Amino acid sequence: MIIVNFKAYKQAVGEKAVELSEKCAEASEKTGKEIIVAPQPYDIPKVSGKVYAQHIDPEKPGSNTGSVLAEGIKKAGASGALINHSERRLEKDVIQSIINRCREVGLTSVVCAQSPEECGELSMLNPDYVAFEPPELIGGDISVSSAEPNVINEAVKFSEVPVLTGAGIKTSEDVEKSIELGCKGVLVASGVVKTDDVLEELLELCSGL
Ligand code: G3P
C-alpha cells in the first residue's frame, strides 16, 4: 500500500488534487498496487480512487463549530484517516477518541508516530495501523529506509498492529527496503506531489512493492 499525502501543497489542492488523484488511480490500475490519496478535506468528494482524510476531530455531530467529523469525511467519500501526523500532533486521549470514532463509523485508522517507542505506545490504542515517520526526515531527500533501517525494524517489533513508514521516500529501493523491514506499506508526499512526472514517480514507487 502507498498512501500519498497531499498535505496543503499548492500543487495538490482543488483542480490539482483531482489531477493528481487521477494519476494515482492510473498508476494503481497499471500496476495492480493499492494507492490511497489523502487530500485536503474539501477535495475528498472530488478526487478519484481510494481516499483517506489527513486529519479528523474527535467530536460527534452537534454544536461543534469547525470540527471535521468522522461521519462527514465518510459521507464525502473517505474510507480512512491519518491521525496525529507530525504536522498535526494530538494528545494521547484525543488520539484514542478519534480511533474510537473511526471504528464507530467504519473508517480505517492510521496513527502516525515519531519513534519506535511511540509506535509501541500508540499501537496499544488499537488503531488499524501505526505509521512511523521520523520528523527530521520528512520533506527531505534522505529516506527513512536508507537512514534508519534499524529504527524501522524496532518500530515493527514494538508495534502491536501493522506498521507503515514514511519520510523522504522517493525510489523503488526505498519502498522495497521498507517492506523487507516488515512494513505493510509507505507514506509519501513531496516525492510525488513536487515531481515533474507524477506518473513515472508513482510507477517507480509501485515497482518496489
Ligand atoms: O505523511 C507522509 C509524509 O509526512 C512524508 O513526507 O515529503 O517526506 O514524503 P515526505
CB-facing half-sphere around the CA of 184: CA atoms within 13 A: 11
Active site (annotated) includes residue 85: yes
Report which of 10, 16, 5 is spatially closest to residue 53, judged by C-alpha positions.
5
Q: Which amino acid makes up residue 173?
A: E
For the record, the C-alpha cell of 129 comes out as 495501523
Q: Which numbered atom of ligand 1 lies nearest the CA of 168?
A: 8
User: 188 CB under 6 A from ligand 1?
Assistant: yes
Q: What is the pLDDT of residue 67?
A: 97
* Domains in the chain, number: 1
CATH of the domain at 96: 3.20.20.70
Q: Which residue segment(s) compose the domain that 80 sits in? A: 2-206
The pTM of the whole model exceeds 0.85 = yes
| Interval 16-29: pLDDT, tens | 999 999 999 999 99
Q: Ligand 1 in contact with 166 (CB < 6 A)?
A: yes
Give the integer Cα–Cα distance in Å for 11 and 15.
9
Q: Which residue among the candidates 15, 22, 26, 133 is catalytic per the annotation? A: 133
Q: Is the CB of 37 under 6 A from ligand 1?
A: no
Q: Is the minimum distance from the CB of 149 to ligand 1 under 6 angstroms?
A: no
% of residues, the chain, pLDDT over 90: 100
Q: 3-class DSSP state for residue 188?
A: strand
Q: What pLDDT digit, counting tens, does each position of 82-138 carry?
A: 999 999 999 999 999 999 999 999 999 999 999 999 999 999 999 999 999 999 999
Whether 55 sits among the annotated catalytic residues: the reply is: no
| Average pLDDT for the chain | 98
The C-alpha cell that represents 165 in the structure block:
513508514
DSSP state of 196: S
| pLDDT band for position 186 (cuts 50, 70, 90) | very high
